[in-house]
Structure 1
Amino acid sequence: MLTDQLTSAALGVLLHAAGTAPGLHVPRPWRAEVDGHLVDLYLDDEPATPDVVARVRRIATGAAVFNLRCAAASLSFDSWVSLYPYPHDPGLAARILVEPTGLPDRELQQLYTAILSRDIVRPATPPDAQLRRMLARAAAIEDAQLTWLPVDSLAVVVTNGAEPADQIRAGIALERVLLTATAHDVRADCLNHTLIRFGERTGTDRR
């Protein structure tokens, strides 16, 4: 493991990307602590948070984790993530190790470009069958499923469990799906936690 510190410039890129993840209508719930090439994201008031709010906060933190990984790839870093539980440190939600590599994840690099273009207004065009398969693959990469609903172009991100780590993972998968849609010039909006509408303008978090 590397023992030197991330440069301030690199750290700025990582944390800025994490901070642009969809907030899901809650204030930024996480804070970061950095030690060498470890970036820890904390949710400090978890025990006092109502379950429904805690779930949303964890999902939003998962989205930040994914954005941070994309930013790391843009800097030619590889990244590894571990999630809850940390019995010795209950507030620690996710730990991300970033290290220089000669083979950064090209797909994450492309999705970082989608983060940078998130404010572009995209046409109200629903995803075709090919893009739906790509979006389903994006969720599957993060151990989740994208389930399409029989209403307009609505889909929901689903994980296999409901533990805190599963909720973080749902946020990671959610953001990968959102950025994949953005990368293919289809707008996608979070309507309610893990519910996504593709190809239509709404007043919610824009992608």
Structure 2
Amino acid sequence: MMLRVAFVPPDEVVEELRALSGRLGMLPGVRSAPNDRLDVPIASLGNVSRADTAQLARRIAASAGPETLPQVGLSGVHLQPDGDIGITVTGDVTGLYGIAGAVGKSAERIHVYIDRRAFRPLLVVAQIDEQKPGSRVEPTLARMEDWTCMSWTVADVALIQIRWHMGLPFSEIVEFVPITPARAVVPSE
């Protein structure tokens, strides 16, 4: 199965993101992000067997996370250089980087190699297509620079399967893997 790993916000935040993405998608030349992609990607792992997926979940759960579970939020809507319209993850971003690194190490232990440096604390809500002079996109984004949502505690990572239906990809959560704070991990002897 095609597998990716991500931080998935709670339902209340996802609903806010859906509404925001929908509003942005009404602008000419802007495509809303699919609802099943409103998450903070950690890594795309490619084609992974079910057995390796289960082993990956066990390894992530057994790896030591940050000292405390990260408290994060989302703030500001900005156009990225690659044409994505993203929202910056705020709060304990260092904790997220630590978890992303643990996911990378866990993937390597099942012989799936990812670029652990590729993680960025950003949630994409839309993509820009071609823009014409006089576009309303920039002024609209300027008004959204102060956009924020509720904060939440990141207690797990999601293993997400990408399936294809009628030529289009859609994501389906296979499993939420709990993050174990470092102080709760007892070293095995």
TM over 0.5: no
Structure (1 or 2) with the greater helix fraction: 1
Higher relative contact order (CA 8 A, sep 6+): 2
Larger radius of gyration: 2
Structure (1 or 2) with the greater strand fraction: 2
